[in-house]
């Protein structure tokens, strides 16, 4: 089976079906490889919460240096450049994550750190905040819709 397309130059290009299967399967395999690589990096990373706002990445690195070799320390900031109060630490080995988890509740700049393994986000999974998708507040309808189809009620 072959698919034919008309181009503006009125030339007809015919491509066999296996060409499309090859192109789509190659794109899917690249996406799967990128997802697998991200999951592997996340398995070597930890989340560090309750980080002091004045703390530098070098200080976080020095705090976790005995766990293993550190690739990267990332302290996230908001749109104004102010730290958000948490960080991610990426290690070379997966075993270093288990060592870093032992440092949970240790203090840095007088604040107890919360250390957890980093979660891998699943693309396309939206985190709901518990609201009903059709109404602004679940369980309480707007005044004009409460008794729509149920007749008149003087109490609402």
Residues 115/89, Cβ–Cβ less than 8 Å? no
Residues 74/51, Cβ–Cβ less than 8 Å? no
This prediction has a pTM of: 0.64
Per residue in 36-57, pLDDT tens?
A: 888 899 999 999 999 999 999 9
With respect to residue 130, please indicate whether it lies within any of the assigned structural domains: no
Residues 138/131, Cβ–Cβ less than 8 Å? yes
Residues 65/77, Cβ–Cβ less than 8 Å? no
- The CATH number that applies at residue 87 is 3.30.70.330
With respect to residue 101, please indicate whether it lies within any of the assigned structural domains: yes
Q: Which of 50-54, 138-142, 151-155 has the highest mean pLDDT?
A: 50-54
Report d(CA 29, CA 140) in Å as an integer.
47
With respect to residue 109, please indicate whether it lies within any of the assigned structural domains: yes
With respect to residue 90, please indicate whether it lies within any of the assigned structural domains: yes
Report the candidate in 26, 60, 38, 18 with the shortest Cα–Cα distance to residue 119. Answer: 38
């Amino acid at each position: 089976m072959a698919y034919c397309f008309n181009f503006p130059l009125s030339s007809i290009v015919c491509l066999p079906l296996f060409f499309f299967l090859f192109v789509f399967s190659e794109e899917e395999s690249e996406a799967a490889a990128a997802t697998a690589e991200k999951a592997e990096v996340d398995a070597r990373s930890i989340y560090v919460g309750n980080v002091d706002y004045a703390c530098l990445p070098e200080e976080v690195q020095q705090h976790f240096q005995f766990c293993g070799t550190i690739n990267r320390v990332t302290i996230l900031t908001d749109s104004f450049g102010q730290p958000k109060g948490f960080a991610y630490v990426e290690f070379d080995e997966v075993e270093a994550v288990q060592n870093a988890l032992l440092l949970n509740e240790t203090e840095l700049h007088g604040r107890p750190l919360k250390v957890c393994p980093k979660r891998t986000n699943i693309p396309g999974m939206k985190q709901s905040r518990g609201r009903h998708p059709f109404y602004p507040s679940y369980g309480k309808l707007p005044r004009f819709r409460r008794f729509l189809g149920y007749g008149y009620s003087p109490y609402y």
